[in-house]
Structure 1
Amino acid sequence: MNFLSEGERVSRIDSRFEETVAALGAEIQLAQSIQAADPQLVLVFEALDEQIDLTTVAQKLGLEILVESEGAIEPTDEYQLISKKPRNPFIGSCLHAVCLNQKALDDLLSLWRTWKQSKSLPYGYSPLRELFSHLKDLRPWGPQDRLKMLDWDEHFADRITDKPHAIEIELWYRRSPLKRLASQREVTALVEQAGGQVHTSAVIEQIGYHGLKCTVPTESLRDLARGDFDSVQVVRSANVMYLRVTGQGLPVAGPPTDPISGQDSPLPTAEPVVCLLDGVPAANHPLLRDRVIVHDPDDLLSNATVEELKHGTWMASATIWGDRGAGELAANRPVLVRPILTPSDETADRSEELPAAELVPDLMWRVFRELFDGEGAEGPAGSQIAVINLSVGDPASPFDSILSSWARIID
């Protein structure tokens, strides 16, 4: 891979360092407002055609590597492939997100200036030299990175606006328990400054996850939609990786559940081998009666009327009967349903969403332990399960270079 205009690249990165210095200054002011110690900033390096281990350099500079992810992009007018007939028509890319303080930034900026003048660095910094040689861009991780919302207008369309709204804040996972505690305290203070409240927190070391479930006033979300980040300063905090304001997208219609045929299909026998993670099904529906086993440890059924049990009923019907137009017999085993959706009190039509107090990775972590390990004195609820259907998604977490915490926990 070649950069076609080295001068323009270097000039752009110079300006990005200037923006980074200003951004760290803003973080210092934000930290002072909540009496936080050692203000820090998350800086993202975007490099092309390189796979470099920065661990040793990071230790020398006092950087903490938070995320490293790989991807690929097409050649552009700015950079091109060296070979005219490459085996791979894409250019490899790598994103490094690091946490730094004022001293680390000063040292990094000094090394950049040294490399810019001589294309060399002191002994022990060769990985950083390679990174600088392949660096496409760098930037502070800012509010636009943290907000994972597809469409604000769509979000507000059916929301009840005179009550607090649930949001999920995913913090950058810090390896040190003391740093995790400090970051949670600082973000909690900012949420409370905005008139909100933190209700739940969770740390899952196995996937590097640290999350908070909060409620904030509707006006705070409208400020975010307008881009007024000074009014909701939590979105400016270097501790925050993502702030999400929605948790579940559902189709407008599901498969037919009218009991028109097939009810005389033999009832299932033996144990279920399929588990459905979805809404609570209408278990006494003619198509589902004696064909589903509902394991509802969170008692989500108590929050719903029969008319509101839509998505779980649709998916249970599809799992048991398949394409009903084909006239096939029902599955010969029952289906185990572990509800994870419930009608939302925040929406005018009480559409089914993930529970307001739940953090999705923590919920998934708990659900799989319930199924295969058991919880407390309770044995496994589905140790014989071989297939799990999860037809639920988060429209606020599209894949964008960094694998979501939900995807990581499922993996």
Structure 2
Amino acid sequence: MEPTDEYQLISKKPRNPFIRSCLHAVCLNETALKNLLSLWRKWKQNQSLGHGYSPLRELFAHLKDVRPWGPQDRLKMLDWDEHFAGRITDQPHAIEIELWYRHSPQKRLASQREVTALVEQAGGQVHTSAVIEQIGYHGLKCTVPTDVLLDLARGNFGSVHLVRSANVMYLRVTGQGLPIAGPPIDAVSGGDSPLPASEPVVCLLDGVPAANHPLLQGRVIVHDPDDLLSNATVDELKHGTWMASAAVWGDLGSNEPAARRPVLVRPILTPSDETADRSEELPATELVPDLMWRVFRELFEGKGTEAPAGSQIAVVNLSVGDPASPFDSILS
């Protein structure tokens, strides 16, 4: 369809001026799949579809293609030029692989071994794996050489066995969360607002804030179990500081008093070694669903013998986006 006010092209210079969408048909078995493909070919050749199948013509008239799940479906779409801008190309790049979830532990292990072997054959390395049975999730976080990404960008799927594996549901070129830039915080003090009291009810999932900043000192509680602060210098603590300021003060130009409760910050962003300017992203070894699963349990259930970090939290702010996963198909 053509772009509208609601649906816009994500690239300023798109290769295709239209917006595509997909329908996913789940077939009962391979025979049903072959039958569907046969009917599609007959319709393309203006042949009769046979008794009982004629209503499919109304569906086929709206379709550009009917095909099995393939490499172009596994590779989550993104703007390649935008992805490579600012990236350091002579070092490995993070990718996130979501496998088809198998209910059998033996089959999950076999599929993970097969995909791990393909990653290593491509010169890459698997750093993290996660299985979340409750939501049917099985993922791997890997790094691969730049050449692999360049082949994907050129559409050379034949040379990238990973994107052709039947065990792979999605291959995301990056699972990083790239936050937008924010304004500088120029205020030198927190004004006359009294320091907060009581327990926090707002939790911010973002970068590590500069907790000693005049606007934030005594107003934020940082819960950093992954020690992301150790990977950053003070001048790199940007997005978490901006967002913490917004949570504590709202619009600085409105001169409103600060929040009466402290804000709990659970850092999930850290400066990236993959980018020239070390922009804040999710850690290269983290799988997003697994991280969120773990974070919410830390907050509300605790971890092992540790008490919950935020059982009284009522609002969670997550102002982080993933440019490699636009809402263009199935949500994980």
Question: Which sections of structure 1, spanning at least 5 residues, go unmatched?
Answer: 1-92, 121-128, 406-411
Instruction: Quote the offset at 1:204 in angstroms.
Output: 1.4
Instruction: Quote the offset at 1:249 in angstroms.
Output: 2.0
Alpha-carbon distance change, 256 to 110 in structure 1, aligned in 2, over 3 angstroms: closer
When structure 1 is superposed on structure 2, of 360-369 and 258-267 the one drifting more is 258-267
Instruction: Quote the offset at 1:220 in angstroms.
Output: 0.9
> What is aligned with 1:117?
50
Residue 160 of structure 2 is aligned to residue 232 of structure 1: yes
Is the Cα contact below 8 Å between 2:76 and 2:171 reproduced in 1?
yes
> What is aligned with 1:40?
none
Give the alignment of 1:19-34 within 5 angstroms.
Answer: none
> What is aligned with 2:179?
250
> What is aligned with 1:9?
none
- Specify which of 343, 349, 353 is matched with residue 277 of structure 2: 349
> What is aligned with 2:197?
269
TM-score (norm 2): 0.83
Is the Cα contact below 8 Å between 1:273 and 1:335 reproduced in 2?
yes
> What is aligned with 1:146?
74
Partner SS state of residue 96, structure 1: coil
Q: Any idea what the Cα deviations from partners look like across 1:26-60, whole Å, max 9, x if unmatched?
A: xxxxxxxxxxxxxxxxxxxxxxxxxxxxxxxxxxx
Partner SS state of residue 230, structure 1: helix
Is the Cα contact below 8 Å between 1:262 and 1:327 reproduced in 2?
no
- Which amino acid in structure 1 is aligned with residue 67 of structure 2? R
Q: Any idea what the Cα deviations from partners look like across 1:208-251, whole Å, max 9, x if unmatched?
A: 21111011011111111111112211111122121112212221
Counterpart CA distance in 2 for 1:169 and 1:152 is: 18
> What is aligned with 1:393?
321
Partner SS state of residue 260, structure 2: coil
- Which amino acid in structure 2 is aligned with residue 249 of structure 1? L
Counterpart CA distance in 1 for 2:153 and 2:259 is: 47
- Which amino acid in structure 2 is aligned with residue 292 of structure 1? V
Instruction: Quote the offset at 1:104 in angstroms.
Output: 7.2
- Specify which of 150, 173, 177 is matched with residue 222 of structure 1: 150
Partner SS state of residue 402, structure 1: coil
Is the Cα contact below 8 Å between 2:93 and 2:145 reproduced in 1?
yes
Is the Cα contact below 8 Å between 2:203 and 2:263 reproduced in 1?
yes
- Specify which of 297, 303, 310 is matched with residue 375 of structure 1: 303
- Specify which of 189, 196, 207 is matched with residue 279 of structure 1: 207
- Which amino acid in structure 2 is aligned with residue 118 of structure 1? H
When structure 1 is superposed on structure 2, of 276-285 and 173-182 the one drifting more is 173-182
Q: Any idea what the Cα deviations from partners look like across 1:318-351, whole Å, max 9, x if unmatched?
A: 1000011110000000000000000001111110
Is the Cα contact below 8 Å between 2:132 and 2:138 reproduced in 1?
yes
- Specify which of 256, 262, 286 is matched with residue 328 of structure 1: 256
Q: What value does the CA root-mean-square deviation take over the aligned residues?
A: 2.6
Q: Any idea what the Cα deviations from partners look like across 1:80-123, whole Å, max 9, x if unmatched?
A: xxxxxxxxxxxxx963245966x77567778999x933327xxx
Identity %: 78
- Specify which of 168, 185, 188 is matched with residue 113 of structure 2: 185
- Which amino acid in structure 2 is aligned with residue 248 of structure 1? G
- Which amino acid in structure 2 is aligned with residue 372 of structure 1? F
Q: Any idea what the Cα deviations from partners look like across 1:176-204, whole Å, max 9, x if unmatched?
A: 33332222222112111111111111111
Number of residue pairs the alignment of both structures matches: 302
Alpha-carbon distance change, 329 to 106 in structure 1, aligned in 2, over 3 angstroms: closer
Is the Cα contact below 8 Å between 2:188 and 2:214 reproduced in 1?
no
Larger Rg: 1
Alpha-carbon distance change, 99 to 197 in structure 1, aligned in 2, over 3 angstroms: farther
Give the alignment of 1:46-195 within 5 angstroms.
Answer: 95-97=24-26, 116-119=49-52, 138-195=66-123
- Which amino acid in structure 2 is aligned with residue 117 of structure 1? G
Alpha-carbon distance change, 220 to 109 in structure 1, aligned in 2, over 3 angstroms: closer
TM-score (norm 1): 0.68
Counterpart CA distance in 1 for 2:119 and 2:287 is: 17
Q: Larger RCO: Structure 1 or Structure 2 (Cα < 8 Å, ≥ 6 residues apart)?
A: 2
Instruction: Quote the offset at 1:134 in angstroms.
Output: 5.1
Counterpart CA distance in 2 for 1:279 and 1:197 is: 26
Counterpart CA distance in 1 for 2:122 and 2:67 is: 26
Counterpart CA distance in 1 for 2:124 and 2:133 is: 27
> What is aligned with 1:20?
none
Alpha-carbon distance change, 94 to 224 in structure 1, aligned in 2, over 3 angstroms: closer
Residue 293 of structure 2 is aligned to residue 365 of structure 1: yes
Instruction: Quote the offset at 1:163 in angstroms.
Output: 1.2
Partner SS state of residue 189, structure 1: helix
Alpha-carbon distance change, 184 to 377 in structure 1, aligned in 2, over 3 angstroms: same
Is the Cα contact below 8 Å between 2:37 and 2:67 reproduced in 1?
no
